[in-house]
Amino acid sequence: MGLTRDFFIMLSQNKALNNTAKRWGLKLGAQSVVAGTNIEEMIESVKKLNAQGIAATVDNLGEFVFDREEAIKAKKQILAVIQAIHDHNVDAHISLKPTQLGLDISYDFCLENLREIIAKANEYNIFINFDTEDYSHLQPTFDLIDELSKEFSNIGTVIQAYFYHAMSNLEKYKDFRLRIVKGAYKEPEHLAFQDKKDIDENFIKLIEYHLLNGKFTSIATHDHNVINHVKQFVKQHDIPRDKFEFQMLYGFRKDLQLQLVKEGYNFCTYVPFGHDWFGYFMRRLAERPQNLALIGKQVFNKKTNTAIGAGALALLLLRANKKRRHKRK
C-alpha cells in the first residue's frame, strides 16, 4: 500500500507527465474523471448532475503556479466560472487552491486575487471552498482564511485527517462549513499518520465531532463503511440531514451517489474541469488506489491492476513527450 501510494505521488509531481497529459488527456480517457476542458462542457456536466438531485463543487484544475500571468489567468477563469454558475442558475459552488492563485509568488498577491473572487461569489451567494494542499502551504492557507473571514462569510475549507493536528484545526474552524477528507499528499511521519487504520480512525473522529459541534459537514469519501457508520451516527444523535452532505469525485461510484440521493441524503459531487488533470487524478489514486478500480474499463482495461494501469499511463505519456521533443529537434 505504501509503495503504491508513493508511486502515485511521484507521478503526480512529474512535470513532463503533467505537461504531456494536458495535450493527450481526453485521448487517454480523462473524460471519465474530468467534467470537460472548458466552462461550457463543465456547466453541461453540472446540469446533468443537478437533474439527478446532485449538487456540485467545481474545481478549475491547476495548482503550484509560479508565474503572475498564469495566476491572473486562473483568477479570471474562476471569475468566469462564478458568472456561469449564476447565469445558468445551477446548484454549484467553487473549490479552489491558493497555490493556483499565486500563494507561492506572494502572499499579498494571492490574498488580493482571492478577495476579488470571494467578493464576486458573495454577490451571487455562492460558496467558496479553500482546498488545503501539502503541509508547507497549510498554515498560509489558514492565514488567508483568517484574514478573508473578517470580510466575508461565504468561505470554508478542508480538514485532512492524516495530520496529527487535524482535530485542533477542526475545533478552531468549527463555525465554518468544512469538508473532511483523509488526505492525498505525501507527508512525513513526524507530521502525519502513515498507517491507513490510524487515518481512518481519525477521519471518523473528525466527522463525528463536526457533525455534533460544527456548522455544516461535507463528508468526502467513497468508502461505504464510513458512509454506513455516518448513517447510523446521525440517526443515533438525531442530527438533521440539512447539517451535512456526502461528497464523492466526479466519475466515481456513480451508483452509490444516486443511491444516497434516493435515500434522501444531501449529495455533492466534486467536479474538476480543464486540461491540468493528471496531478489531480494521480493524487486520487494515492489517496485510495481502489479508485482506479471504481472507474475500471473507462480508463484502463478492467483486468489491469492499479499500479500497472497507472504505470502504463505514465509510460504512454513519457513516450508521447519524447516523440514531441524529438520532432522539435
> What are 118-128's pLDDT values in tens digits?
999 999 999 99
Q: Report pLDDT for 23.
A: 66
Q: Report pLDDT for 37.
A: 86
**What are the DSSP E strand ranges found in the chain?**
55-60, 92-96, 128-130, 155-160, 177-181, 216-220, 244-249, 267-273
Query: Which one of 5, 59, 104, 179 is the catalytic residue?
Result: 179
How far, in Å, CA of 221 to CA of 234, rounded? 16
| Cβ atoms 129, 179 nearer than 8 A | yes
Q: Is the pLDDT of residue 313 over 60?
A: no
Average pLDDT (90-100) is 97
Query: Which one of 59, 104, 131, 276 is the catalytic residue?
Result: 131
**Which spans in 34-67 are helix H?**
39-51
Domains within the chain, CATH numbers bracketed:
34-276 (3.20.20.220)
Q: Which residue has the higher pLDDT, 282 or 75?
A: 75
Q: What is the dihedral of CA 310, 316, 322, 326, to 10 degrees?
A: -170
175 is catalytic: no
| Cβ atoms 306, 289 nearer than 8 A | yes
Neighbours of 236 (CB within 10 A): 8
Supply 284's cell numbers.
486520487
179 is catalytic: yes
pTM: 0.84
Q: Report pLDDT for 33.
A: 80
Q: What is the mean pLDDT of the chain?
A: 86
| Cβ atoms 12, 286 nearer than 8 A | yes
How far, in Å, CA of 13 to CA of 315, rounded? 15
For 316-326, what is each residue's pLDDT tens digit?
555 544 554 55
Supply 149's cell numbers.
473571514
Confidence of residue 309 (pLDDT cuts 50, 70, 90): very low
Confidence of residue 265 (pLDDT cuts 50, 70, 90): very high
Confidence of residue 268 (pLDDT cuts 50, 70, 90): very high
Q: If we measure between CA atoms, which residue out of 31, 18, 111, 26 comes closest to residue 62? A: 18
Average pLDDT (36-40) is 91
Q: Report pLDDT for 220.
A: 97
Q: Which residues lie across from 56 on neighbouring strands?
A: 92, 269
Confidence of residue 158 (pLDDT cuts 50, 70, 90): very high
How far, in Å, CA of 97 to CA of 250, rounded? 18
Q: Report pLDDT for 289.
A: 58
Q: Report pLDDT for 269.
A: 98
How far, in Å, CA of 152 to CA of 122, rounded? 8
